[in-house]
Amino acid sequence: MKIGILGSGVVGQVLANGFIKHGHEVSVGTRSPEKLADWKSKAGKSGRVGSFADTARFGDLVVLAVKGTAAKETLRLAGAESLKGKIVIDTTNPIADAPPDKGVLKYFTSLENSLMEQLQAAYPAARFVKAFNSVGNAFMVNPDFAGLKPTMFICGNDADAKKEVSTILELFGFEVEDMGGVEAARAIEPLCILWCIPGFLRNQWTHAFKLLKK
Ligand SMILES: NC(=O)c1ccc[n+]([C@@H]2O[C@H](COP(=O)([O-])OP(=O)(O)OC[C@H]3O[C@@H](n4cnc5c(N)ncnc54)[C@H](OP(=O)(O)O)[C@@H]3O)[C@@H](O)[C@H]2O)c1
């Protein structure tokens, strides 16, 4: 598959490498392609770099991996036409431009209106699936937790899109929990706040969530 990754930060690069490792062709989108010269030289012929618009056009599947405050602007630059009908894996968290309060991140959204709901409403023809937002980038691709698979919580309105994303997540070493429609992003996005607390308080960043079930 051709994967268009909107975002050149650590998440964009880690997921780009993960998709290449699993046999896909990847384009990474950025406002400054020159920033990724080093990544591109290491990625070989399966990796390319372009604008957000080029990258969205290139992808059969699109991954949104930009700063939460830039998510809307990035999709505007990507262009609605290029997102039409495509799966958009949304890795973003709506972290506000304010410091954490005693280790608790601040969000610019509310518990009644998540970022992914806003993005889905703005681009109704795109098929958003929330994923990868509740784990650190070091554990996004085939993480090693001594044989235990971490849980990836996902949600979105399109059942086929979630099925396809689940297959990818299983390949990337996760067990998948489908939490329902886009509204569930109100619960999945704040998992990042919880994930980061041990990091900010005790410099512990090497964990992942697992849902225990009977
Ligand atoms: N870091 C983690 O471990 C982690 C884990 C889970 C989820 N996440 C989420 O994943 C997303 C990406 O995180 P990250 O750590 O890789 O990097 P980041 O610093 O949050 O995002 C970097 C990307 O945001 C873009 N960007 C920033 N300001 C912009 C603007 N005004 N207009 C358009 N684009 C803008 C940058 O574009 P340019 O390429 O043009 O500079 C770059 O591609 C975030 O939403 C984060 O909350 C991160």
pLDDT tens digits for range 67-108: 999 999 999 999 999 999 999 999 999 999 999 999 999 999
- pTM for this structure? 0.98
- Radius of gyration for the chain, computed over Cα atoms and rounded to the nearest angstrom: 16
Work out the pLDDT band at 124, boundaries 50, 70, 90. very high
Q: Tens digit of pLDDT for each residue in 5-45? A: 999 999 999 999 999 999 999 999 999 999 999 999 999 99
For residue 212, how far is its CA from the centre of ligand 1 (angstroms)? 31
Q: Tens digit of pLDDT for each residue in 155-206? A: 999 999 999 999 999 999 999 999 999 999 999 999 999 999 999 999 999 9
Instruction: Specify whether the CB–CB gap between 33 and 54 falls below 8 A.
Output: no
Indicate the burial class of 209 (C-beta count within 10 angstroms; 0-12, 13-18, 19 or more): middle
Q: Give the pocket of ligand 1 (CB within 6 Å).
A: 7-12, 30-32, 65-68, 70, 73-74, 91-93, 95, 133, 136-137
H-helix segments, the chain: 10-21, 37-43, 52-58, 71-78, 80-83, 115-122, 159-171, 185-188, 191-202
pLDDT at 150: 98
Instruction: Specify whether the CB–CB gap between 15 and 91 falls below 8 A.
Output: yes
Of all protein residues, whose CA lies closest to atom 23 belonging to ligand 1?
A: 66
Atom of ligand 1 nearest to the CA of 137: 3
Instruction: Tell me the best of 15, 39, 63, 66 to mutate to test the pocket of ligand 1, counting ligand atoms within 8 Å of each CB and taking the most.
Output: 66
For residue 133, how far is its CA from the centre of ligand 1 (angstroms)? 11
For residue 214, how far is its CA from the centre of ligand 1 (angstroms)? 37
Average pLDDT over residues 55-69: 98
